[in-house]
Chain A
Amino acid sequence: MPIAVEGVSYVYMAGSPYETKALDNVNLTIEDGEFVALIGHTGSGKSTLVQHLNGLLSPTSGRVLVDGQDLAQKGTDKRAVRFRVGLVFQYPENQLFEETVEKDIAFGPKNLGLAQEEISRRVKDAMRRVALSYDELSQRSVFELSGGQMRRVAIAGVLAMEPKVLVLDEPCAGLDPHGREEILGLIRRLHAESGTTIVMVSHSMDDVANLAERVIVMDHGTVAMDGTPREVFSRGDRLREMGLDVPQAVELAEALRARGIPVPQGAYLPGEVARAILAFAGKGEEPC
């Protein structure tokens, strides 16, 4: 179920003094099973773009095709598209509202009009995927849970809709390192085991480097770069111009190269840089 964004522009508050062009002629296609990271500084248009992927926002011009269907066209069942493109907002735990974990996760499937048995199966399956014990937690109040657990309940609520594409807007924001690891681990598993297409908005370049197969960089409402992490992170200067960080491994690789230590161009993972250092140290070349 590919998503094609074709010549999409979006203007907030058109005609008012606050008129802002949030997206400016964006073109991209997300194929089945991809793991895409979407990066860009605040105000670059990431969140606006993400809300176009399941029709929460409609383009001011251009179109978005989900599985070949134009979301803005009359006759397109937007509701059905939203079931297939699940969107996990920032701080999704703020949207939990039901009395129990089970009821909260069941809310979406229930609105689909599914049979009780199917709802129950989906709740259990979603909880298993986010590594929460059904027996222990399903009847608890969501407000008794830790921050990381609440976030996983919120994600389970989206997974219970069994989306083909999962879009996550900064899924790790505000979590402690352990909570982050849990969330990143479950996203990685969803991608690897179920082949779910993942679009992840993130500010953490280290997370992006570790997880994504493709990185899209937004700047001033346009796509500034679109490539593999290796391609994107090899342009450190350009990223910094756009107010972004690079992974620390990239920073180290650049600094070592500047001192004459050979680190392969495009190295962006800690392991790659470590190997380069070891190879260099082993060879005993001239001091730098």
Chain B
Amino acid sequence: MENRQKENRIITDGLSYRYPEAERDAVSDVALRVRAGEFVCILGHNGSGKSTLAKLFNALYVPTEGTVWVCGMDTKDDELVFDIRQNAGMVFQNPDNQIVATVVEEDVAFGLENNGVPPQEIRVRIDEALAAVGMSERAKKAPHMLSGGQKQRVAIAGVLAMRPSVIILDESTAMLDPSGRAEVMNTVRRLNREEGISIVLITHFMTEAAQADMIYVMDGGKIAMTGTPREVFSQIGRVRALGLDVPPMTALAETLGKAGLPVRPDVLTVEEMVEEVCRLQSKG
């Protein structure tokens, strides 16, 4: 168990959650894990239980049944709540609802001050966190003058300043324009690769999901599919039946396949499609 928990940032076992007075579980018997340095994506249509699951990951909700361990800590243990939230930071959907201060760096400092981190240490951590999301130059700015993508990066910096092991993004790109989405996704990917922070990304954008190491698809509170993006998206029929899309290039591979061209069904990106077409050509 000791070792298992070193390698895994989040483990859930038989995890169920039912809202008070609800007739059925919002999350039902979920077993999954997020490894150290892993980039996990959770997909599912609205109401499938994704956001409830995310809130179980950092003790905003505690399980009705089963267990969630965050870096080995059971989220049911009241005394560990602050340690758990420091380790599993959460970024929400609406950039305007999660900024509390009137100056960017004060907003980043908010969690640290609440945790009683000494002032000199706070300074260091703010500078590090803003640098990591590429917002150092805006440290003294007013958050309301920032774009949506910049606000979300400030929110990520606030989480980052707590030195978390895993960052959970609950549809954090949903309200952004394409360049804001790209800013957030580049920041997240870099934190994942360079800092080794595990990522749990909840999204409706299949092109974002395609960048993950592992995808879990939720349906009716349960995990309906698990696998790498390639494994999941190549099962186009099942993905669609679960109310989701596949990336445009995967759909195109299906079209070409149906027309009799032996294209791999698990193409995810434009680059892969180009390689695939060229490969077919050099064979033929």
User: Could you tell me if A42 and B277 are in contact, using CB atoms closer than 8 angstroms?
Assistant: no
Asked if B244 CB lies within 8 Å of chain A CBs, one says yes
Q: Which residue of B lies closest to A40 (CB)?
A: B177
A288 near B: Cβ within 8 Å?
Answer: yes
Chain B residue, CB-CB nearest to A244: B178
**Would you call A274 and B178 a contact (CB within 8 A)?**
no
Q: How far is the CA of A146 from the CA of B46 in the complex (A)?
A: 8
* A245: B residues at CB distance < 8 A: 178
Interface size class of A (residues with CB under 8 A): 35 or more
Tell me if B178 and A287 are in contact (CB < 8 A): no
The complex places the Cα of A42 from the Cα of B181 at a distance, in Å, of: 12
With both chains docked as a complex, state the minimum distance between the C-beta of A12 and any C-beta of chain B, in angstroms: 13
Chain B residue at minimum C-beta to C-beta distance from A248:
B248
B245 adjacent to chain A (CB < 8 Å): yes
Q: Residues of B contacting A280 with CB < 8 Å? A: 277, 281
Q: Does residue B274 face the partner (Cβ distance < 8 Å to A)?
A: yes
Check B45–A174 contact: CB distance below 8 A. no
Contact (Cβ within 8 A) B245 A261: no
- Within the complex, the shortest CB–CB distance from A126 to chain B, in Å, comes to 23
Measured CA separation A274–B281 after assembly (Å): 15
Q: Which of B212-266 contact A (CB under 8 A)?
A: 243-245, 247-249, 251-252, 255-256, 259, 261
Which B145-172 residues have a C-beta within 8 angstroms of A?
147-148, 171
Contact status A174-B270, CB under 8 Å: no
Are B278 and A252 closer than 8 Å at their CB atoms?
no
Instruction: Decide: B270 and A42 in contact? CB cutoff 8 A.
Output: no
**Considering the chains assembled together, what is the distance between the CA atoms of A175 and B243 in angstroms?**
12
Given known A248-B270, A252-B270, contact A278–B281 (CB-CB < 8 A): no
Residues on B with C-beta less than 8 A from A259 are 274, 278
Complex Cα distance A203/B205, Å? 13
User: When each residue 250-271 of chain A gets 1 if its CB lies under 8 Å from chain B and 0 otherwise, what string results?
Assistant: 0110011001010000000011
* Residue among A175, A177, A273 having the largest count of chain B Cβ atoms under 10 Å: A177
Instruction: Judge whether B114 is part of the interface by a CB distance below 8 angstroms.
Output: no
Q: Which residue of A lies closest to B47 (CB)?
A: A146
Q: A177 near B45 (CB under 8 angstroms)?
A: yes
| Contact yes or no, A256 B274, CB < 8 A | yes
Of B247, B271, B278, chain A has the most CB atoms within 10 Å of the CB of: B278
Q: In the assembly, what is the distance between CA of A244 and CA of B252, in Å?
A: 22
Give the interface size bracket for B toward A.
Answer: 35 or more
Is A252 touching B45 in the complex (CB atoms < 8 A)? no
The reply on B97 being an interface residue by CB < 8 A is no
> CB distance A252 to B251 under 8 Å?
no
Tell yes or no: B63 within 8 A of A by CB. no
Residue A211 CB within 8 A of the other chain: no
Tell me whether A41 and B46 are in contact (CB under 8 A).
Answer: no
CB neighbours (8 Å) of A147 from chain B are: 46
Q: List 30 A-B contacts (CB under 8 A).
A: A42-B179, A42-B180, A43-B147, A146-B46, A173-B175, A174-B93, A176-B243, A177-B244, A178-B45, A178-B46, A178-B244, A243-B178, A245-B178, A248-B249, A248-B270, A252-B274, A256-B274, A259-B274, A261-B277, A270-B248, A270-B252, A274-B256, A277-B256, A277-B261, A278-B256, A280-B281, A287-B278, A287-B281, A288-B281, A288-B282
* Least CB separation from B50: chain A residue: A176
* Closest Cβ neighbor of A249 among chain B residues: B248
B83 → chain A, closest Cβ, in Å?
33
